[in-house]
Amino acid sequence: MNYFIIVDLDGTLLNNKGKISSYTKRILADCKMCNNKIIISTSRSYKRTIEYANYIDADYISAFNGNFICDQKYNVIYHNSFPKKTSKEIIRILKQNNYDIISENLYSSFCTNNSDIDIIEDTTLTISKAIESYDNYKFLVRGSKKDYDIIKNKIIDLADVSYDNKNHLIRILPKETNKWNGILKILEKQKKKYKTMVFGDDLSDLESLKNSDIGIRMENSSKEINDNIKFSTFSNNDDGVAKFLCNYFNLIHSQVNYENIKILDCSLRDGGHLNKSMFGKKTIENFIYKLIKANIDIIEVGFLEDCVYDSDVAKFPNVSSAEKLLSKYNSCNSIFSLLTQVDKFNINNLEKCSGKVKMIRVSFHDNLISDGIEYCKKVKELGYICSVNPINFSSYSNERVVDLIRQVNEINPDVFSIVDTFGMFLNKDFKNKLSLLNHLLNENIKIGIHLHNNLSQPFSSAQLLIENNTFKQDIIIDTSVSGIGRSPGNLKTEVMTHYINDLTNKRKYKLENIYSIMENEILRLKKHLNWEEDFAYSMTAFRRMHRTYAEYLLDKNLSYLQMEKILNSIPEENKGRFNEKIIKEYYEKYMDGRL
């Protein structure tokens, strides 16, 4: 989907020196190369806008808060100036009350006091028949909030009057003036459907920000904008517009922060997919003990799901069962976590947080987002650290990401995790999703990742998360010892802890304890469990398919070429969820020579 990128000038696209940086110009040009269009939507006059429009090659100008609109070939789409009779009456009233007037029309602007010349950068005249004869689009008056109240009361039937708190200016515009109405005039002319993305900083931008598909306020926005618009970007002095666009359209931008990296080891939970979590009590205890000794930040001890508790199994019907297991341990610097899936656990069985389990991670399929949001609300209400873990997040479109983040921001969880269920992320795709989260998530929400090894990408993606971590927040990286988990495995705890120790020049993680798990518990598990890499899992990842299709075909002892032909036949609508009936049907068709 292509966008109209709609930008205000003062306080938004322009820095405080009234300039557009070369970086911003370059990013806007890149956006246009992707078939997006640029609209300048400003309170400024047409004359004071045209220079900037030419500089960034804007497709449209909407000046005077939407009262004059033209395209880049200077074809006028809409204009709405004051009727001359109304102009004369407004001038008469302002003059009668001893206010200095700034009058703006299409090609020139005038003021009655030399001190106002900095606003219009044009000509100083006295009130005369000459000014009254122009097509006036806007009047400005310097004044206080008290002056605003006086003027508004006197001309309320003649014009729309608003107050610019930042510049102490009273704006007088034709009735029913609204920047968003101007944007709608442009949209009506389009043969092709576009989505709208609006950037703004003051009250005149509010309706546009609220009505657009994506409204983004500047960090330097007025109180009214901050109170009403949730999505934000950097300030106008820090190329906020360009940085957001760079992230949304997956262009190049990075900012490094190495100090806030936390490791969440999910060996017992993700490894449980291999053996129905039946590790045995001693193995479970050894994992937990050694991970604590290794200083792992978060240790996920298993699944929270409806079941009967068994001390040999890393599944728990309630938190109190997990607390019983953990009671013997001094958690030191580690905290404990459980993961629940909304269709496998009755949230009414969740107890209040009162022990060593501090975090609950909530996972859900894309058809159960509403349930997931409700579960997260309950988790937070009961005092746990709450992590949102949308299953197969890697397959979400940008529009769907924006919609999910809107809902997530409303409940304000502690963590949002990028879950690459099928290991399909390439660097470009991962960077795109991460960048959206960095800009759209509430600033206090930490970002996490859970990655699978189908395309040998987890370590590379984890580095991208670190390098693109623009939040001054912890980031949480899921790992498992030796990558234990569904084939072809996960990001490895030993790799990430070694890497972080090297990055920070500290011995934060005690690697000898992780090595001990690898050389003892993992070696024993490998005698009867297999999570080795196989190219078949890469084949499903490239096709954005559920990994279990590869698993099914590997059991049939087929060649990779045979697997490829069968996988290529799976209908699009069946790729995201494993369907044994479908894969069996196409396997049999292939074997019978019907494919």
Class (C level, CATH) for 3-74+179-248: alpha beta
pLDDT in tens, 524-535: 999 999 888 889
CA atoms within 13 A on the CB side of 558: 22
Q: Which of 277, 271, 273, 62 has its CA nearest to residue 181? A: 62
3-state secondary structure 338-356: EEEECCCCCHHHCCCCCCC
Mean pLDDT, rounded, for 559-580: 92
Q: Hey, what's the torsion of the CAs at 340, 344, 348, 354, to 10 degrees?
A: -30
pLDDT in tens, 200-249: 999 999 999 999 999 999 999 999 999 999 999 999 999 999 999 988 98
Same fold, 3-74+179-248 and 84-173: no
In this structure, the strands spanning 123-124 and 3-7 are unpaired
pLDDT in tens, 257-287: 667 889 999 999 999 999 999 999 999 999 9
Q: Would you say 200 and 211 are in contact if contact means Cβ atoms under 8 Å apart?
A: no
Question: Angle of helix 427-440 relative to helix 398-411, nearest 10 degrees?
Answer: 40
Q: Token digits for 493?
A: 């705890």
pTM score above 0.85: no
> Looking up tokens 């957001």, which residue turns up?
244
The reported pLDDT for the residue numbered 313 is 97
Q: Would you say 111 and 124 are in contact if contact means Cβ atoms under 8 Å apart?
A: yes
- Could you tell me if residue 587 is left (phi over 0), alpha (psi between -120 and 50 degrees) or otherwise beta? alpha
Q: Token digits for 575?
A: 């790729």
Q: Would you say 195 and 2 are in contact if contact means Cβ atoms under 8 Å apart?
A: yes
- pLDDT at residue 252 is higher than 80: no
Distance between CA 95 and CA 21 in Å, rounded?
A: 40
Q: Domain coordinates of the chain in residue numbers?
A: 3-74+179-248, 84-173, 261-526, 535-591
The reported pLDDT for the residue numbered 191 is 85
Q: Could you tell me which residues are beta bridge partners of residue 475?
A: 261, 447
The reported pLDDT for the residue numbered 469 is 67
The reported pLDDT for the residue numbered 123 is 47
Distance of CA 350 to the CA centre of its chain: 30
Distance between CA 215 and CA 176 in Å, rounded?
A: 22
Distance of CA 9 to the CA centre of its chain: 24
Q: Would you say 170 and 195 are in contact if contact means Cβ atoms under 8 Å apart?
A: no
- Could you tell me if residue 239 is left (phi over 0), alpha (psi between -120 and 50 degrees) or otherwise beta? left
Could you give the C-alpha distances from 200 to 57, 219, 404, 426, in angstroms and in order?
Answer: 19, 10, 23, 33
Distance between CA 458 and CA 427 in Å, rounded?
A: 10
The reported pLDDT for the residue numbered 128 is 47
DSSP 109: E
Distance between CA 274 and CA 295 in Å, rounded?
A: 26
pLDDT in tens, 58-100: 999 999 999 999 999 999 999 999 998 998 899 899 989 999 8
Taking the alpha carbons of 361, 367, 370, 375 in that order, is the dihedral positive or negative?
negative
CA atoms within 13 A on the CB side of 529: 24
Q: Which of 178, 214, 213 has its CA nearest to residue 43? A: 178
Class (C level, CATH) for 84-173: alpha beta
Domain 261-526 indexed as CATH 3.30.479.10: no
